[in-house]
Amino acid sequence: MQHRSHPLRLRFALLPAAAAVALALAGCGGGGGGGPVSSATPASFSGAAIDAPIAGAIITFTAGAPLADGGQSIGNITANSQGGFTVTVNLPSGTGVPIFANAAAPAGAGTTPLELASYLGQSDALAAVGALTTSNLPDLDISPVTTAALAVYAATNNNSFAALTPAAYALTLSTYRNDILAIAAAVKAVGDNLCTPAQPIGSTSDLALQIAQNAKLSSTNTASTTLATAAAYLGGSCSALPALQMAILADSRFAPELDLGDLIEANVQAVVPGSYQLQSVIAETTVLQTINTVAGSTPGGTTTSTANPAEVFVDDTIQVDASGNVTSGDNKVSGTLYGNLLSLQVKDGNGNVYQLRAKVGSLPTALSSGQQAYGVQGGGINTANQALTLFNADLVPVAAGGAAAAPSWNAYWTASGAPTGMGSEDSGIKGCATGQLALRFDLNTVFPQGTHSDDALGSLAECVAPTAGSASTSWTMVTAASTYNQFNEDHDGWVFNMQGASLGQAGQPSGTVVWSEATTPTAAPYVMQADNVTLTPPTITTNSATTAGTAITGSAYYVLGSRSVVLSPASASTSQGNAILNIQGNLLSQLSESSRNSQQGDQPSQGDH
């Protein structure tokens, strides 16, 4: 049995109960809280170990837990020069046995051993599919994102994987998405030799776990300290972290791993065949694809000073057939849907061609006038300039007469004006009036802060209310009087303070932004837009240094159901490019893939999955 060593602090001992589980695994191949194991079923796995591609990685499949946490090895293989592998693994029987893929770079590949892990699902469900590839199970790409997600799960579940299921994994992604993003960036920074831990670390998976266990995570009543903790572990001066977070959010491989989890993408198609309208926001970043494909590439060498402004893209001629083929009558959109993994090529009105990969989830029907619409979140590249590109969209059903289902932006407000429920992620926000919905925006990828560009920038708290009326098509958003807008942290003598971040709009009272359904270049009622918006950066004090980023003024966009707001500067020449403001889980981002969960025996409650 192998388990982690932790030079910076004690983690946990292998207690008798855990030892008993490990012995049971060793004896019968079971684990994870499931039933008895009676046999093994062969299954074929084809995937890749990616930070950048990890040539010659040692790939080990384990049952019960990741390899570094005592999981039982059930198969291994050495990856090729591109990190790819194909192997047949004997999966233990038992519906409750979680299966993991683990990757370790060859010895000498970096100053800190590169070790990654991912969760594949439950053994019997995997065996039923028989052959799995990165086309139908994205977590067969063993990556910094999957490693970070498992670290957060361990840190929030007493370092045990016994109760891990696809639904529990999806809930972890939803609740701690921004923490996972920050930890994944730290893992990638070390894996790509861009930054070095301040003290010796056993491996990158150890680094991920230590950050997760020592940070205040997003579900607490205070602002998350995950990025500050990550920065402290990397010496407080890892300038790569903001660019790496942006790169992960907009990457076609990493972005789908952040959303909706990775249940088996087989047999159940997420979208009902029929006619749809695609309403989307396409937002290029200043980060180029090479930052995620070339190990050791520096952010400065993989960024550009310009990016095309964010755009609203609408296509009302989309057809999805029973085989998952996606086409459009105007030939601007084409792609394939496998389960809820959507691969698309989109040609916009300016001649740009985007190759995209995204996850699809069901929007609550209350948000689309009782009809089933779908949220789409992912990323990819502009094929012309290789800029990594964020893609948020909704697929809206179109009736036989040609009318698309209308959005219901105020669906969660009651007749008295109060929202019908508040997610736990919104707890702790102060200053929102009755009838307002609290939103938390993380600013970690937005403002470079001098030599401390990797410092955590806390969160911005906003209060949202719809315009009165059953057919509300606008919001008024005001800055909340919340501790999330002011943040102080003392991490091992490394003092950090943030004050003063705010959103405002020209012609409105201070701290007020009015949003309306987008109308340019054509009507997009599932996209909220606000023009002449200014995001004022916080003032950051780290020890004796005080810095502040440059304010951004432009148009802001939000797609119903998505987990981010895009702020596109008025001038395309700005070095900032399109800014991505991550949103903590809230009532408007309740995407579900429960129809697919049912094939594996998991029925999560309605929520962010």
At residue 456, the pLDDT reads 45
Mean pLDDT for all residues in the chain: 79
pLDDT tens readout for residues 392-447: 999 999 987 788 999 988 887 766 666 665 444 455 677 777 778 888 887 777 76
At residue 599, the pLDDT reads 35
Q: Which two tokens stand for residue 25?
A: 């695994």
37-41, 197-201, 334-338, 415-419: the lowest-pLDDT one: 37-41
Quote the percentage of the chain above a pLDDT of 70: 77
Length of the chain: 609
- For the segment 159-163, the average pLDDT, to the nearest whole number, is 94
Q: Are 566 and 249 in contact, with CB atoms under 8 Å apart?
A: no
Is the predicted pLDDT of residue 33 greater than 50, yes or no? no
At residue 212, the pLDDT reads 97
pTM: 0.86
Strands 40-49 vs 84-92: parallel, antiparallel or unpaired: antiparallel
Q: Are 256 and 360 in contact, with CB atoms under 8 Å apart?
A: no
Q: Which two tokens stand for residue 172?
A: 């972890």
HSE-CB at 260 with a 13 A cutoff on CA atoms is: 34
- For the segment 92-103, the average pLDDT, to the nearest whole number, is 86
Phi and psi (nearest 5°) for 597? -60, -30
DSSP assignment of 201-217 equals -S-HHHHHHHHHHHSPP
Is the predicted pLDDT of residue 488 greater than 50, yes or no? yes
Is the predicted pLDDT of residue 373 greater than 50, yes or no? yes
Is the predicted pLDDT of residue 527 greater than 70, yes or no? yes
User: Would you place residue 20 in the very low, low, confident or very high pLDDT band (cuts 50, 70, 90)?
Assistant: very low
Strands 141-142 vs 40-49: parallel, antiparallel or unpaired: parallel
DSSP assignment of 218-271 equals TTSSS---HHHHHHHHTTT--TTHHHHHHHHHT-TTHHHHHSS-----SS--SS
Amino acid at 553: T
How many CB atoms are closer than 10 A to CB 69? 27
pLDDT tens readout for residues 169-224: 988 988 898 899 999 999 999 998 899 998 889 999 999 999 999 998 877 666 67
